[in-house]
C-alpha cells in the first residue's frame, strides 16, 4: 500500500540501520511502491562483537535484505570518514535514521550516547547540507514510568537507552529552530512483525510466544499478565508513519502506537487461536517489579493531526497478517 501520492522519481533515500527490523521493511516498502526512487541502505551488519550483557552489538542481518536490489553500504555511523564520504558522494533527499544501539538492557553508557546521540548530530548536519528531510527512530522508552496515556513532554527515562532517545529528541528541537529541513522523530511503542527474528532475545513477545507455541511448549508468562498492558503496534503501521513523516504538516516528535493498550495474555490467546493450539499457560513470578513498565499507551492525537497517521491494525489483525511469516521463520530458522 502506498502512503503518499508522490512517485519519488529520482529521489535518493538513505536508510541507516537498513538491514535491521524496521529499516529493512522501509527499504522494501520503497522498492515495491516507489521503484523510481534510489534507496541506499547503510548498516554495520552483525559480527561476533557483543555487549557486556551478552547480546549482540548489531542486529543487522543480510537475510533481511534478500530480494532488495538497491545499494548497500556496510559501515558504522560513528565513522566520521564514512559520513564525510556520504556527504561528498551523494545528494540525499530523505534520510530515515533507524541505526542505533537499541538494546534497552545495555550497560555501556558511553557507547549508547556516542552512537545514538553524537552520531545522530553528525547525520543532522549531513541532512542540512543535503537539504534532506530527516525522519528518525525515537522510542517510548523515553517515557519510563510516566502514566498512561504517554504524551510528548512527560518523559522520565529509566535506562540509558531511553535517556539517549530523549537526548536525540532534545537535539532535534534545537535543529528545528535553526534549519529549514523537516525533522520528525517517531516514538515507537512495542513493535512486532516481519524481519524481527534476528533481534534474537530482544524480538517482540509476539514472536517469542509464537515460537514457544509452535515448539509445543506451554507459553510462559509473568503472573498477572492479564494486567500488564502495552501498546503493541504492527510493523505496517510503523512503515505508514515513517512514510507519512516525509511530508509532515510540521516538524516534531510524535508517538507511533495504536492508542490502545493490550495485555501479554491477549497476545498468547490470539496466537493460540491463530495457530490452532490450546496449550496451558504457565505463570512465573515477575523478577522485574520496580523496573518494569506495567502500562503503556500512546497518545497519538498529534500524530494523526501532523502526519495524517491512522493505525490500521488491531492486535488481532496484526497477528493474523504476521502468522504465515512466523511459521516460515520457525521452519527455516528455529527447528
**Residue 189: partners with Cβ closer than 8 Å, 6 or more residues away:** 140, 230, 231, 232, 233, 255, 256, 257, 258, 296, 298
For 324, the grid coordinates are 504465515
Catalytic residue among 29, 120, 161, 188: 161
d(CA 47, CA 55): 11
Q: β-strand 262-263 against 229-230: which pairing, if any? A: antiparallel
d(CA 2, CA 306): 18
Catalytic residue among 11, 165, 199, 244: 199
> Is residue 90 among the annotated active site residues?
no
In Å, how far are 23, 24, 216, 223, 235 from 239, measured between CA atoms?
A: 9, 10, 32, 33, 6
Q: Which residues of 231-245 are buried (b: 16+ CB within 10 A; e: fewer)?
A: bbbbbbbbbbbbbbb
Alpha-carbon dihedral sign for residues 265, 331, 57, 76: negative
Q: Which of 151, 186, 181 is nearest to 168 (CA)?
A: 186
> Is residue 249 among the annotated active site residues?
no
d(CA 247, CA 108): 35
Active site residues per annotation: 161, 199
Amino acid at each position: 500500500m502506498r502512503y503518499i501520492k508522490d512517485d519519488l522519481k529520482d529521489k535518493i533515500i538513505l536508510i541507516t540501520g537498513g538491514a535491521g527490523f524496521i529499516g529493512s521493511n522501509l527499504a522494501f516498502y520503497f522498492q515495491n511502491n516507489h521503484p523510481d526512487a534510489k534507496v541506499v541502505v547503510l548498516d554495520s551488519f552483525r559480527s561476533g562483537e557483543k555487549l557486556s550483557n551478552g547480546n549482540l552489538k548489531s542486529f543487522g542481518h543480510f537475510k533481511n535484505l534478500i530480494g532488495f536490489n538497491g545499494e548497500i553500504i556496510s559501515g558504522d555511523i560513528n565513522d566520521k570518514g564514512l559520513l564525510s564520504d556520504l556527504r561528498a558522494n551523494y545528494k540525499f533527499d530523505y534520510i530515515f535514521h533507524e541505526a542505533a544501539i537499541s538494546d534497552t538492557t545495555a550497560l555501556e553508557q558511553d557507547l549508547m550516547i556516542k552512537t545514538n546521540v553524537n552520531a545522530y548530530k553528525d547525520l543532522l548536519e549531513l541532512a542540512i547540507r543535503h537539504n534532506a528531510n530527516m525522519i528518525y527512530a525515537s522510542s517510548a522508552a523515553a517515557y519510563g514510568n510516566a502514566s498512561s496515556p504517554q504524551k510528548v513532554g512527560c518523559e522520565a527515562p529509566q535506562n540509558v537507552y531511553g535517556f539517549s532517545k530523549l537526548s536525540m529528541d532534545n537535539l532535534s528541537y534545537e535543529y528545528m529552530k535553526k534549519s529549514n529541513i523537516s525533522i520528525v522523530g517517531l516514538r515507537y511503542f512495542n513493535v512486532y512483525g516481519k524481519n524481527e527474528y534476528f533481534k534474537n532475545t530482544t524480538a517482540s513477545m509476539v514472536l517469542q510466544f509464537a515460537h514457544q507455541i509452535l515448539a509445543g511448549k506451554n507459553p510462559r508468562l509473568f503472573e498477572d499478565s492479564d494486567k500488564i498492558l502495552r501498546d503493541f503496534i504492527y510493523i505496517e503501521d510503523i512503515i505508514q508513519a515513517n512514510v507519512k513523516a516525509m511530508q509532515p504538516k510540521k516538524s516534531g516528535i510524535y508517538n507511533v502506537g495504536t492508542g490502545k493498550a493490550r495485555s501479554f495474555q491477549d497476545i498468547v490467546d490470539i496466537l493460540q487461536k491463530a495457530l490452532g493450539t490450546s496449550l496451558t499457560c504457565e505463570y512465573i513470578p515477575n523478577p522485574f517489579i520496580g523496573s518494569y513498565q506495567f502500562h503503556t499507551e500512546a497518545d497519538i492525537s498529534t500524530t494523526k493531526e501532523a502526519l495524517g497517521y491512522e493505525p490500521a491494525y488491531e492486535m488481532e489483525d496484526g497477528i493474523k497478517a504476521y502468522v504465515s511469516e512466523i511459521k516460515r521463520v520457525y521452519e527455516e530458522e528455529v527447528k
